[in-house]
Amino acid sequence: MRTGDDVDTRTLAVTHPGEPGYQAATSVFNLAAPPEPAAAAVVRTVREIRDAIRFAEEEGLSVRVLTTGHAAPAALPMHDALLLRPEMDGAVEVDPRRRIARVPAGTKWGAVARAAAPYGLAVAHGSSPTVGVVGYLLGGGLSFYGRRTGLAANSVRAVELVTADGEPRRVDESSDPELFWALRGGGGGFGVVTAVEVDLFPAVKVVTGAACWPAAHAPRLLRIWRRWTLEAPAEAATSVRVLNLPRLPEVPPALSAGPILSVDGAVLAETADDVATAERYAEELLGPLRSVAEPVFDTWQTTAPVSVLDTHMDPADPVAVLGDHMLLDEFGDEGVDELLRVIGAGSGSPLIAAGLRQLGGAYAVPHPKGGALDHLSAPYAYSGGGVPGLTGTAEAITRHIGTVRAALAPWDTGRTVPTFVETHTQPQGHLSVEQVAAVDRVRERVDPAGMFRGDIMPSATALR
């Protein structure tokens, strides 16, 4: 197994609050919850991770891990911890024959998608190019390709990590299959992941983009979208959101004139022969929507797969977001009315974005070689959030998050996707009681002293 540290002479640079380097080591994308560990370090080699574990043991600290910090508010407090930010040496390595990419920890999805593109291959990446690969994959991973490929965690073929004993391991289905199972969706707390190997798949073209209408049209548009999702082809995955975008130079004026309804997504064409079919699938959704009213903004087109990285229009720079997430059952027209009552035109919603992501398809099918989280039975994922000081006060946003949760309670499954969980205090759950017990047994084997226990999602352990 490669470690890349046999001839490395660098020493670990641990920083403390107020010292140079501490801010860089603790920076996160979601500024709503900046971490405040007792100490922090950027690690680039296995040797530095080993040194960090020894340092934590000597100082009586636990060890925590963050990469990009998109989900920073979901992390438990870490005042008594050493925070590690893996930025492992090396680049993305693509094996086009085996259709596998090896990705060093700390890599973002944009780099992986662009590395695979020259070979006519794609990967089940997230909706933002700035999301970290490892946390997304091991937390399930919802991709615009997911209705065709399933949860992104199912595409992981191997995980390289350093466990609490300081030993580097490479685990897959034939090497420590129990740990490999637990890593994929088990809720964290197993060690410091240094690299992953992930499946790639053919992708010649995609039909992708976003179309937006004034939110006054939302009742008709959302009904059309919901009915289309009931029998939508697996090659297509979309989301629908009500957006309240501020007047900023980077926001097109048509999108900041008031609340709008956005329908975005992607339809996959694996081969050249599939392009016409993909375009027809897209038109079966977009045609009826465009017949209701002409969009004020419309970027849907047939293009290269890397364009999917920009489809969701996620912010490129760090921002503070307060949000919430639920998995929902089928909700019918009654649910449409209730959702729009609390986030639509006239609702007074301070949420900058709130809506539904289409699931079903391969998402709903248990994977024969999957991990602890290998499928989602719910047809929709709700997420919504606001930016304090931009769309409302923190108090108003938090209060409205509660209003939306109450309105959607009749369809709330009580389940969540780890990568969509917004805070460690929100209701969450993605494993059964039996799965939690099985994952905890693996944790106790690889981390008997509980050094990484603070990294475990609250719903994924009975050890605390």
Q: What is the pLDDT of residue 249?
A: 81
Q: Which domains does the chain have, with CATH numbers?
A: 22-86 (3.30.43), 93-202 (3.30.465.10), 205-420 (3.40.462.20)
Mean pLDDT of the chain: 95
CB 380 within 8 A of CB 328: yes
Residues 60-88: what's their mean pLDDT?
A: 96
Residues 45-73: what's their mean pLDDT?
A: 96
Q: Quick one: pLDDT band at residue 2, thresholds 50, 70, 90?
A: very low
Q: What is the pLDDT of residue 247?
A: 85
Q: What is the pLDDT of residue 464?
A: 79
Q: How far apart are CA 92 and CA 105, in angstroms?
A: 10
Residues 285-295: what's their mean pLDDT?
A: 98
Residues 346-368: what's their mean pLDDT?
A: 97
Count how many Cα atoms sit within 13 Å of the Cα of residue 360 in the half-sphere of its side chain. 21
* pLDDT at residue 9 greater than cutoff 50: no
Q: What is the largest CA-CA distance in the chain?
A: 67
What percentage of the chain exceeds 90 in pLDDT? 93
pLDDT digits (tens, 9 = 90+) for 217-274: 999 999 999 999 999 999 999 999 999 998 888 888 888 888 999 999 999 999 999 9
Q: How far apart are CA 243 and CA 259, in angstroms?
A: 6
Which among 441, 408, 227 has a CA at the least distance from the CA of 335? 408
Q: How far apart are CA 305 and CA 213, in angstroms?
A: 25
Query: Three-class SS of residue 382?
Result: strand
